Amino acid sequence: MVSSNEGSPDLQDQLPQPSIHDLPVELLSHIVSLSVQEYFFHLTRIQHLCLVCSKWRDVVEGTPELWCRLTGADPLRGVRKAIHYSRDYPLDINSHFISHLNGSHPNDFLPAVSLHACRWKRASIIVGPGSENVLQEALTVGKAPRLESLTITSSGRMKTPLTLFQGAVLPCLRNLQLRNAPLVWNGEQLFNLQKLEISAEKQIPPPLNDVLSVLRVAWGLEEFAFVGSLSPGVDGDSITVPQHSILPPALKKLRISSVRTSSWLHLFRTIRAPACRRISLRGDLFGDLEDPNNLAQIAEAISQFFPCVRVKVDWEERIHITVGSPEVRFSLSTLDLEFSHSTERLQLAKWMILNFVHESMEVAL
């Protein structure tokens, strides 16, 4: 006997096909999230989806996590709407000083989002000349207890250091990147950092002791990078180096670059990192170290301490010193040093033998 359902494909073709509008709200919300997550003009696209139909509008407006990404590329009206619909969810802030060409002006965007700094989770802020005062007002008021990552970049020259969020402790802050943005350093405020990057090439040099105040208490710090120079000591001529070393136990990556200054040396002399696996140093020396006469003798001396060391001078007369061996116990397994002047290069190698090698042997893994 032939089934009544067999032989009737035309009837099945005539049945109404399921619509995307018939999907459960939870699934539809997920589809909407996937459709907008890669777009820079995030809020604009979200608002366009609200125009599809009343159900889509209800789903979009009723899903707070869709409204949590705020950028300066979006109109200010849309930013305020997003703050409302995101309820109490953590916010992701992205403000670029040229964004006002198509979206909000920084003088409007930053004050609007700074009122909700208590909800910030991540913030990346870039300001240009003339917007420094707006940045000061946005970041020196309120508190940000949920902030995990903060990047501040200034293309101008800021004269007044920032006091982040009234100096309140930032318990969740793990990542701090500062590019030409001077800061009032407070170790207790930044105690939980895992990554710290400072670029001070175009700003007033930060004091060494202020930077070390963070390294001294940030026991979980894994990456530290410093580019620029440090301010002179009290005597105005030299930097006052602390008597006691700073020991960040979790530090794995260290990068210091201070070309035309000796700042890298003052930092490196102070930091002792037994877990460090990668070091990059660039800078200059100014005759404060003994100058040996023969590079070959220096290479031989270094090899006596580390049998697996490789010392190479390239065609630009730069020295590359690499140390690494699973059998050797020492605090730093990789060291890349580049100096263009031969005298500086010899001084550095001599200093490494007299100081770095001896101390790294003391701090064993």
Q: Tell me which long-range contacts 127-133 makes (C-beta under 8 A, separation of at least 24).
A: 127/95, 127/97, 127/153, 127/154, 127/155, 127/156, 128/97, 128/98, 128/154, 128/155, 128/156, 129/155, 129/156, 130/156, 131/97, 131/106, 131/107, 131/156, 132/156, 132/158, 132/159, 132/160
Cβ neighbours around 160 below 10 Å, total: 12
According to DSSP, the residues that pair with 91 across neighbouring strands are 120
Q: Is residue 171 part of a domain?
A: no
Beta-carbon contacts of 281 under 8 Å, excluding residues fewer than 6 positions away, are: 255, 256, 257, 264, 268, 335, 336, 337
Q: Provide the residue count of the chain.
A: 365
Q: Is residue 75 part of a domain?
A: no
Domain tally for the chain?
A: 1
Type of residue found at 217 = V
Q: Is residue 345 part of a domain?
A: yes
How far is residue 276's CA from residue 281's CA, in Å, rounded to a whole number?
A: 14
Q: What is the pLDDT of residue 199?
A: 92
Average pLDDT over residues 121-128: 91
Is the pLDDT at 274 greater than 90? The verdict is: no
How far is residue 188's CA from residue 168's CA, in Å, rounded to a whole number?
A: 9
Q: What is the pLDDT of residue 124?
A: 94
Q: Is residue 314 part of a domain?
A: yes
Among 55-69, 157-171, 188-202, 228-242, the minimum mean pLDDT is found in 228-242
Is the pLDDT at 158 greater than 80? The verdict is: yes
The pairing of strands 253-258 and 319-322 is: unpaired
How far is residue 21's CA from residue 258's CA, in Å, rounded to a whole number?
A: 59
> Which residue has better confidence, 53 or 329?
53
Is the pLDDT at 332 greater than 50? The verdict is: no
Q: Is residue 20 part of a domain?
A: no
Beta-carbon contacts of 30 under 8 Å, excluding residues fewer than 6 positions away, are: none
Which pTM does this prediction carry?
0.72
Q: What is the pLDDT of residue 289?
A: 41
Average pLDDT over residues 39-49: 69
- Indicate the average pLDDT of the chain: 71
Residue 265 binned pLDDT confidence (cut-offs 50, 70, 90): low
Average pLDDT over residues 209-238: 80
Is the pLDDT at 193 greater than 60? The verdict is: yes
Angle, helices 263-270/208-217, rounded to nearest 10 degrees: 30
Q: Is residue 14 part of a domain?
A: no
Q: Is residue 127 part of a domain?
A: no
Is the pLDDT at 196 greater than 60? The verdict is: yes
Q: What is the pLDDT of residue 191?
A: 94
Quote the domain boundaries for residue 337.
285-365
Q: What is the pLDDT of residue 20?
A: 61
How far is residue 48's CA from residue 50's CA, in Å, rounded to a whole number?
A: 5
Q: Is residue 109 part of a domain?
A: no
Query: 365: burial class by Cβ within 10 Å (0-12, 13-18, 19+)?
Result: exposed
Is the pLDDT at 121 greater than 90? The verdict is: yes
Cβ atoms of 204 and 184 within 8 Å: the answer is: no
